[in-house]
Structures are given as structure tokens and as C-alpha cells.
Amino acid sequence: MSLNDQLAAMRSHRNRINLYRQLLEHELPEHDRSYFEGRLSEEYRAFKSLTDTVFPITLGLPRKLSLSLQSAD
């Protein structure tokens, strides 16, 4: 799968995640709510799996730096 295909798949998952979140903001029968929550969970897992594949390196702040930034607030 090319990078363009992977990015397109990520956008599709993101769009469906946003759709399910918007739907869950409304009053829904319990069986519909349960269905959309399940779909949201599946889409999030698929999105996370794809992003971990496309962007395997996580850049974060070193622990000392992040602690000093928190104390500066």
C-alpha cells in the first residue's frame, strides 16, 4: 500500500470517527447507541493501527524537559 493510499485510509477512518462522535451527541435508542459506540471503537483501533504503521517513531519530550515545562506553568 503506497503512502498516498495509507493517508487516504487514515482520512477515511478519521472522518468516520468524527461522524460516529457527532451521532453519539444526540439522543439515541440504546441499541443504536451501542452500535455506534462499537463502530467508533473499531474505527479508532483501525486508525491507531494504521498511524502506528505509517508513523512508527513517536517523538516526545525528554522526561526532565517535560517536568521543567510543567513546573514553569
Q: What is the pLDDT of residues 3-25, one digit of tens each?
A: 899 999 999 999 999 999 999 99
pLDDT value at residue 35: 96
Distance (Å, whole) CA 54 – CA 69: 29
Angle between helices 3-24 and 30-54 (to 10 degrees): 150
How many CA within 13 A on the CB side of residue 58?
A: 6
Structure pTM?
0.73
Mean pLDDT, the chain, whole residue set? 85
Residue 23, amino acid = L
Contact call for residues 13 and 21 (beta carbons, < 8 A): no
Residues 25-50: tens digit of each pLDDT: 999 999 999 999 999 999 999 999 99
Collapse the DSSP code of 3 into the 3-class scheme (helix H, G, I; strand E, B; otherwise coil) and give the result.
helix
